[in-house]
């Protein structure tokens, strides 16, 4: 009954795909955009003084960004509500306190007027500081409301200059809110330290980081991310696991996000009705520095504390995400009145063995994504007769019979050919 890492990973990926494409064929299912609200994208552009550097195909970084924005605005799908926020665009002085307030909404998130947005972009000139953390907080507020997908695309050529407001911590706080917002980052001609910071921001929300050194790379990547926002996807639903099964939230089929601290257990409840089985998978991401050698364990436990099945995975520091899954068969218990299996409550327990050195923050917890899929199970009797051992014997018998008949036909044809040859 134990599910090991390699086979489970493929099963879980398949389950996730089925959950996205089959389990929710019509809107109103848990976590799926209903179509009542358009997908939203907020482009956040660094307009700090360093954007004057002329190292992107012989042009300044600002010129390259403007051209990319113009091309992206032309290609933005009609259904996408798009906005543009700047950081470091207005204050050119030396007062750090003022410089770290320098973020503004250049074009509000909403239906796109391409001419108006392009005109706004044309006015930009490299100016001041790089307040990435404050800009991300404001950008998240810009996307407030609606149940469509939400995405921030941050384009910067430098590190944040407004510490101690760490932009990585800001991204984690945004992810912890459970609003389904993804932050993608692009680094213009990055150095190692900047790449590390932008990667951390993206990973905290399940986004991506891309290093950019050419004009066409910038345009293509931003276009790809805007198009991705318009794709129909399942948006995870925020939940909060408990410290015991009795207090755990009851979940139905869907995709859920939570946070789990180092070494913590998170409990969830799922009701499995007669004739159904439960398939579940979990992924836990290390969005901060952790020690090598860690693991994730997912267990299915009865309300009486008996473990029925488990899935587990281990890592050694080479991956930032661990995933595992399990399959809990349909209930086999009998109710008080007859032979029908009674409905049962399955307790899912997620445990991790991540650890970190002193000084690494433990809150908010590590990002956790849980996929629940309750599906119709095969009937037990039919399973034995048609899909299990019975199917194997039936197939073997069919092959034997086919071989016997083929042998008879071949022998008859051979004798007939010999008889004809002798006659001639």
Cis status, amide bond into 364, omega within 30 of 0? yes
How far apart CA 320 and CA 325 sit, in angstroms, is 17
- DSSP labels, 359-421: TS---S-EEEEEEEEEEEPPPHHHIIIIISHHHHHHHHHHHHHHHHHHHHHHHHHHHHHHHHH
pLDDT beyond 80 at 15: no
CATH classification at residue 158: 3.40.50.410
Instruction: Identify which has the larger pLDDT, 81 or 374.
Output: 81
Query: pLDDT tens digit string along 232-285?
Result: 656 678 899 999 999 999 999 988 989 999 989 999 999 998 888 898 989 898
Helical segments of 177-330, H only:
192-204, 215-230
Domain co-membership, 202 together with 162: yes
Residues 44-78 as b/e (b if ≥16 CB within 10 A, e otherwise) read bbbbbebbeeeebeeeebbbbbbbbbbbbbeebee
Q: Classify residue 6: in a domain, yes or no.
A: no
pLDDT classification of 402: cutoffs 50, 70, 90: confident
Q: Classify residue 67: in a domain, yes or no.
A: yes
Mean pLDDT of 381-404: 54
Helical segments of 211-265, H only:
215-230
The 3-state DSSP class for residue 321 equals strand
Query: pLDDT tens digit string along 55-76?
Result: 999 999 999 999 999 999 999 9
pLDDT beyond 60 at 389: no
Nearest to 124 by CA among 177, 157, 170, 86: 86
Domain co-membership, 244 together with 330: yes
Instruction: Identify which has the larger pLDDT, 9 or 349.
Output: 349
pTM over 0.75: no
The 3-state DSSP class for residue 145 equals coil
Task: Choose one of 230, 262, 289: the last residue of a domain.
Answer: 230
pLDDT beyond 90 at 329: no
Query: pLDDT tens digit string along 155-206?
Result: 999 999 887 789 999 999 998 887 779 999 999 998 888 988 998 898 888 8
Domain co-membership, 161 together with 288: no
Q: Classify residue 372: in a domain, yes or no.
A: yes
Q: CB atoms < 10 A from the CB of 240, how many?
A: 13
How much of the chain, in percent, has pLDDT values that exceed 90?
42
pLDDT of residue 297: 95
Mean pLDDT of 309-318: 83
When mean pLDDT is compared across 286-290, 304-308, 350-354, the lowest value belongs to 286-290
Domain that residue 187 falls in = 33-230
Domain co-membership, 163 together with 254: no
pLDDT classification of 399: cutoffs 50, 70, 90: low
When mean pLDDT is compared across 170-174, 208-212, 313-317, the lowest value belongs to 313-317
Domain co-membership, 95 together with 209: yes
- DSSP labels, 39-93: -EEEEEEE-SGGGG---BTTB-HHHHHHHHHHHHHHH--TT-EEEEEEESSS--S
For the chain, how far is it from start to end, CA to CA, in angstroms?
68
How much of the chain, in percent, has pLDDT values that exceed 70?
77
Crossing angle of helices 114-122 and 61-75, rounded to 10°: 180
How far apart CA 111 and CA 40 sit, in angstroms, is 9
Mean pLDDT of 277-295: 88
pLDDT classification of 218: cutoffs 50, 70, 90: very high
Domain count for the chain, please give it.
Answer: 2
Q: Classify residue 104: in a domain, yes or no.
A: yes
pLDDT of residue 120: 95
- DSSP labels, 93-117: SS-HHHHTT-EEEEEEEES--HHHH
pLDDT of residue 1: 36
Q: Classify residue 294: in a domain, yes or no.
A: yes
Q: CB atoms < 10 A from the CB of 394, how many?
A: 12
In this structure, the strands spanning 344-352 and 265-272 are: antiparallel
pLDDT beyond 90 at 2: no
Domain co-membership, 300 together with 344: yes
Domain co-membership, 288 together with 339: yes
Residue 108, by phi and psi: left (phi above 0), alpha (psi -120 to 50) or beta? beta
Residue 78: partners with Cβ closer than 8 Å, 6 or more residues away? none
pLDDT of residue 167: 93
pLDDT beyond 60 at 345: yes
pLDDT beyond 90 at 123: yes
Helical segments of 177-214, H only:
192-204
The owner of tokens 């706004």 is: 120
Mean pLDDT of 16-36: 38
pLDDT beyond 90 at 314: no
Residue 310: partners with Cβ closer than 8 Å, 6 or more residues away? 1, 2, 3, 297, 298, 299, 300, 326
CATH classification at residue 364: 2.60.120.380
Domain co-membership, 344 together with 217: no
Domain co-membership, 256 together with 162: no
Task: Choose one of 230, 258, 282: the last residue of a domain.
Answer: 230
pLDDT of residue 6: 36
Task: Choose one of 199, 230, 261: the last residue of a domain.
Answer: 230
Nearest to 390 by CA among 401, 378, 398, 382: 382
Q: Classify residue 189: in a domain, yes or no.
A: yes
Mean pLDDT rounded to a whole number for the chain: 81
pLDDT of residue 157: 93
Q: Classify residue 195: in a domain, yes or no.
A: yes
How far apart CA 387 and CA 408 sit, in angstroms, is 31
Domain co-membership, 90 together with 209: yes
Q: Classify residue 204: in a domain, yes or no.
A: yes
pLDDT of residue 165: 83
Instruction: Identify which has the larger pLDDT, 55 or 16.
Output: 55
Domain co-membership, 68 together with 207: yes
Domain co-membership, 287 together with 217: no
């Amino acid at each position: 009954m134990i599910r090991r890492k390699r086979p489970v990973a493929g099963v879980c990926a398949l389950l996730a795909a089925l959950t996205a494409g089959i389990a929710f064929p019509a809107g109103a299912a848990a976590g799926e955009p209903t179509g009542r609200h358009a997908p939203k994208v907020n482009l956040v552009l660094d307009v700090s003084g360093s954007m004057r550097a002329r190292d992107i195909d012989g042009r300044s970084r600002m010129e390259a960004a403007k051209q990319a924005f113009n091309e992206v605005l032309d290609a933005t799908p009609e259904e996408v509500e798009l906005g543009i926020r700047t950081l470091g665009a207005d204050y050119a002085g030396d007062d750090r306190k003022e410089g770290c307030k320098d973020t503004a909404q250049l074009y509000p998130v909403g239906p796109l007027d391409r001419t108006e947005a392009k005109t706004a972009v044309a006015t930009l000139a490299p100016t001041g500081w790089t307040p990435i953390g404050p800009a991300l907080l404001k950008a998240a507020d810009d996307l407030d409301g609606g149940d469509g997908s939400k995405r921030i695309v941050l384009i910067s050529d430098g590190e944040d200059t407004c510490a101690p407001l760490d932009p990585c911590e800001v991204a984690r706080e945004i992810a912890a809110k459970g609003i389904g917002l993804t932050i993608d980052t692009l680094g213009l001609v990055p150095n190692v330290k900047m790449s590390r910071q932008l990667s951390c921001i993206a990973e905290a929300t399940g986004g991506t980081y891309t290093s950019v050194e050419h004009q066409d790379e910038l345009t293509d990547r931003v276009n790809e991310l805007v198009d991705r926002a318009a794709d129909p996807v399942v948006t995870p639903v925020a939940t909060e696991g408990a410290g015991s099964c009795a207090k755990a939230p009851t979940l139905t089929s869907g995709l859920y996000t939570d946070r789990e601290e180092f070494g913590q257990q998170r409990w969830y409840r799922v009701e499995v009705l007669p004739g159904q089985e439960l398939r579940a998978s979990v992924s836990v991401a290390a969005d901060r520095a952790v020690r090598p050698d860690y693991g994730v364990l997912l267990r299915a436990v009865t309300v009486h504390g008996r473990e029925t099945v488990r899935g587990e995975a281990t890592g050694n520091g080479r991956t930032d995400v661990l995933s595992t899954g399990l399959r809990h068969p349909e209930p086999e218990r009998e109710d008080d009145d007859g032979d029908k299996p009674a409905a049962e409550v399955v307790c899912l327990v997620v445990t991790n063995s991540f650890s970190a050195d002193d000084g690494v923050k433990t809150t908010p917890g590590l990002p956790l994504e849980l996929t629940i899929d309750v599906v119709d199970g095969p009937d037990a009797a039919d399973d034995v007769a048609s899909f299990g051992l019975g199917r194997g014997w039936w197939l073997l018998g069919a092959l034997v019979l086919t071989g016997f008949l083929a042998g008879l036909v071949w022998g008859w044809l051979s004798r007939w050919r010999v008889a004809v040859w002798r006659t001639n």
